Amino acid sequence: MTVRKKIIITCSAFLSLFLIWYLLVKKTDYCISFKVSAATGTVFQGIQEWSVIQLEKEKENYTVLEKRNFDFIRQKMKKGDAQMEYIWDITYINDSVTKVNVGIKDLNHSIYNKLTVPFFSTLFKESQIKKITDFKKGLGEHLKNFKVRIEGEGVSEETFVAYINLKSVLQEKGQTMIANDAIITGFLFENKIKIIGRPYLEIMNWDLDKETIDFNYCFPVEKPAKNVINNAVKFKTLPAIKGLKATYYGNFRTSDRAWFALMDYAKKHNLKLENKVQEHFLSNPFNGGNELEWETKIIIPFTSK
């Protein structure tokens, strides 16, 4: 066999294997990549919130098939007869940049898309570019509504508080606090227990997979002169904790954006954090004003191991 024939056979075999992989094995028809100045968890939450908006605006029904650690989410979208799959890979680059790769597959026309997308500007290709561009723009608008300043390692102050235990999904933390605010403040007022500082949020357990939180909504108070018994409101001392600190400026409903920034920072610097958070709200949202001036001090404790 001549050298030329060997080269032709080798190239043909390589091309055949490539085509088999590209047409039958490759999971996506088209991939779009972009970078954004946000924590990985903020992008992850943005994808889920965008999916809800897409259902309301475009009648696109998104179902989560798989998700992982705020850096990966696989969705299936249905709209009429159309069925699409979106695979989002979210990669932390540095303290201010995250890279997002979106793999897209049309479950009804995958082979056709793979054959045409590299060479032609098809309706599928253009519509997906527009969709992901709109998502990025929406995320950019959201990022204008808050700021996070990471301060590094620090220690919180010990504080005596009255508190009420609450549970919610992560996205409804702020609403849950507001809905129960009158219970704790009303109890303190009725029992003439003076509030002496701004409220705290003590996240006792943060389930990353289920995105649920078990937390205490706390108010610093003077120690009552006598025991006051209540089924909902309790008293205790918040201990001083050592951990990673940040200051968040923005609406308290989305203060978890600072949690995500601290998680990315910890991963970058090989620091181990617990699935617990303490927030100290230094502004009163009921006074209104510019949300970018609402200040929250946040600390996530280091693991004891």
Residue-wise pLDDT for 267-303, tens only, equals: 989 999 999 999 999 987 766 678 999 999 999 999 8
Q: Please identify which residue in the block is written with the tokens 């209540």.
A: 230
The rounded distance, in Å, linking the Cα atoms of 56 and 76 is: 16
State residue 117 phi and psi, 5-degree precision.
Answer: -55, -40
Q: What is the pLDDT of residues 141-172, one digit of tens each?
A: 999 999 999 999 999 999 999 999 999 999 89
Does residue 230 share a domain with residue 297? yes
pTM for this one?
A: 0.87
SS3 191: coil
The rounded distance, in Å, linking the Cα atoms of 162 and 164 is: 7
Q: Is 173 exposed, middle or buried (0-12, 13-18, 19+ CB in 10 A)?
A: buried
State residue 128 phi and psi, 5-degree precision.
Answer: -70, -40
Asked which of 144, 177, 212 is the last residue of a domain, the reply is 144
Asked which of 144, 163, 179 is the last residue of a domain, the reply is 144
Number of structural domains the chain divides into: 2
Does residue 286 share a domain with residue 247? yes
Q: What is the pLDDT of residues 28-63, one digit of tens each?
A: 889 999 999 999 999 999 999 999 999 999 999 999
**Do the domain assignments include residue 3?**
no
Neighbours of 238 (CB within 10 A): 19
Question: What letter would DSSP give residue 25?
Answer: I
Residues 6+ apart with CB under 8 A from 166: 176, 177, 180, 214, 215, 216, 217
Asked which of 113, 144, 175 is the last residue of a domain, the reply is 144
CATH of the domain at 57: 3.30.530.20
Residue range of the domain that includes 139: 24-144
**Do the domain assignments include residue 16?**
no
